[in-house]
Amino acid sequence: MADDKRLEAIVHGFVQGVFFRHNTRIEATRLGLTGTVRNLPDGSVRVIAEGPRDRLDRLLAWLRRGPELADVERVDAEWRDATASYPDFRIVR
């Protein structure tokens, strides 16, 4: 859609080894978003998501909490125009 946006977020804290990527994929899919989630070498998690801004805002709020076992310290988020590059939402290894 022309109004779609792209959220690029880096999630910092205790966010690897706690099913963060798996639960992010579930939440993004539930919201009808496309994109990717991946672990980064520094222990953070990178999320790229595209879709309507209101749904991306809901994903961002979820990222700030994370799944039950996670301890999110902060989320660095940037907004861009969507590229329509993703057919679905997937975990990238």
58 is catalytic: no
| Residue 39 annotated among the catalytic residues of the structure | yes
Contact in structure between 36 and 91 (CB atoms under 8 Å) = yes
- Annotated catalytic residue: which of 23, 38, 39, 90? 39
Distance CA 39, CA 44 (A): 6
CA 24, distance to chain mean position in Å, is 6
Active site residues: 21, 39
